[in-house]
Amino acid sequence: MNINVVEENNVKIAIVNSSDILITDVQSALDFIATVGFETGCTRIILNKSAICNDFFDLSTRIAGEILQKFVNYNTKIAIVGDFSVYTSKSLKDFIYECNKGKDIFFLPDEKRAIERLSRV
């Protein structure tokens, strides 16, 4: 896991890159939040969708809701970046749409948009 910190509008954002899957369940999400927070002091994180297990994107597993609730509970905003058009599930598309209307969790196409979004919420 490689973590870079950028600052935009006086807001520090951790950009996490990894070739490994970092988040597979609630415990790994908590470990991820704690590690990034400890190493960077950031409460805003950008993570590529490839670092999250595939079950996350199958809403019937309920993993997405459980994991994202931990980010909210620990006051950590996250932008998951990648191409979400590959998913055909209407419920997942609705979920992503609703998240993007909020202020804590975002599904965005690239780091640039993620930095813009996390630096203004």
Q: pLDDT tens for residues 18-59?
A: 999 999 999 999 999 999 999 999 999 999 999 999 999 999
Taking the CA atoms of 50, 59, 38 and 21 in sequence, report the sign of the dihedral they define. Answer: negative
CATH number at residue 12: 3.30.750
Handedness of CA 15, 5, 118, 36 (dihedral sign): positive
Answer yes or no: are the C-beta atoms of 80 and 47 closer than 8 Å.
yes
Structural domain count, the chain: 1
pLDDT of res. 121:
62
Domain that holds residue 44: 2-118
Question: C-alpha angle with apex 22: 20 to 23, nearest 5 degrees?
Answer: 140
pLDDT tens-digit series, residues 86-121: 999 999 999 999 999 999 999 999 999 999 999 986
